[in-house]
Amino acid sequence: MKRLILALLIVLASPVFAEEAKPVGGDPAIEQRMDNLTQNLRCLVCQNESLAASHADLAEDLRKDIRKQMKMGKTDKQVVQYLTDRYGDFVLYKPPLRSYTILLWFGPALFLLLGMGIWYFTLRKRRSIQAGDQASAEAMKQAADLLERND
Amino acid sequence: MKRWIPLIVFVALAGFFYVGLHRDPHAVPSPFIGKPAPAFNLPVVGQPGKTFSPAENLGKVWLLNVWAPWCVSCRQEHPELMRLARSGAVPIYGLNWKDKDREAAGLLTAIGNPYVEVADDLSGQAGIDWGVTGTPETYVIDKKGIIRMKQIGIITDKVWQTKFVPLLRELNQ
């Protein structure tokens, strides 16, 4: 009996998989595409949120707009163009390479080069100090004599 | 020299942070500057049957103030707009953005109406086409229908004097 109850409990305790509610009636393929696209777009109202995550009124309107355009058969690129035409590159989380974003794109590499340069020169300086510190042959001989005498 | 480097780095960083503190992150540069004002044709608030379209204003310099009855900052901006309307400096048109509760007409009667006409953008689509990110926002449109400036946030007297007055003077020449 005990065993039976235990077996029953184990069956009952099997994990339940929950999922976030999906909007009803939407075309799942378009919803998926929209979700992927809006993950990488910035909400203009709460700027640290993506367009996918934001609950701002404007974000909801824009998602509605994007959905409509995708249903009309626009490509992702065209949809992004629609948004950048209105809000500028600012909506893109991944900024395009422009003359004014060069520092943004290559700044890290620049700092890496700078750091490597500093590293190289520091090491070289340290090596030359060590080399300069090396005792002369005469001094070494003197030291060896002293050590032998102590023996 | 070498021991001054940390201080120099610190001062440079502090300088960046100080400037950053006083910049409005919502003041996103608009891609519309220098481009033609996007078209719309919307009903006018309080005048049934009448519509407004930006093309009607070709040949004059005008402002489009995006606002909404539910917007608190717009209420804060309202006295300044009233003052500007009375001075007759420039015609101000309104875009009533997403006024779902249909309050604009009543509110303007109650607190005063600085606008020549207010276009009623219930769906918010005109706002999206103009790249509106929030209210209030004010666009300066020149005689050829080109957007010349966008002010994000409240027009204060200081903003008016420093940003609008010189531009309007130039555009009205």
pLDDT tens digits, A22-49: 555 578 888 889 889 999 999 888 888 8
ipTM over 0.85: no
- Cβ-based contacts of A85 with chain B (< 8 Å): 31
Give B46→chain A minimum CA distance, Å.
25
Task: Report chain A's terminal Cα–Cα distance, integer Å.
Answer: 88
- Cβ-based contacts of A79 with chain B (< 8 Å): none
B6, two tokens: 């940390």
Q: Please, what are the domains in chain B?
A: 31-171 (3.40.30.10)
pLDDT at A17 over 80: no
List residues bridging with B36 in a β-sheet.
Answer: B146
CB < 8 Å & 24+ apart, contacts of B77-83: B77/B136, B77/B154, B77/B155, B78/B111, B78/B112, B78/B114, B80/B154, B80/B155, B80/B156, B80/B157, B80/B160, B81/B114, B81/B115, B81/B155, B82/B112, B82/B114
CATH 3.40.710.10 fits A26-96, yes or no: no
B166, two tokens: 């010189």
Q: How far apart are CA B165 and CA B89, in angstroms?
A: 9
Q: How far apart are CA A81 and CA A87, in angstroms?
A: 10
Of B25, B30, B130, which is closest to A88 when you measure between CB atoms? B30
Which helix (H) or strand (E) segment holds residue B141: the answer is strand B137-141
pLDDT range class, residue A3, cuts 50, 70, 90: confident
Q: Is the peptide bond before B31 cis (omega within 30 degrees of 0)?
A: no
For all residues of chain A together, what is the average pLDDT? 85
pLDDT range class, residue A16, cuts 50, 70, 90: low
Q: How far apart are CA A80 and CA A93, in angstroms?
A: 12
Amino acid B26: pLDDT: 79
Could B29 and A58 be called an inter-chain contact, meaning their C-beta atoms sit closer than 8 Å? no
Annotated domain spans of chain A = 26-96, 100-150
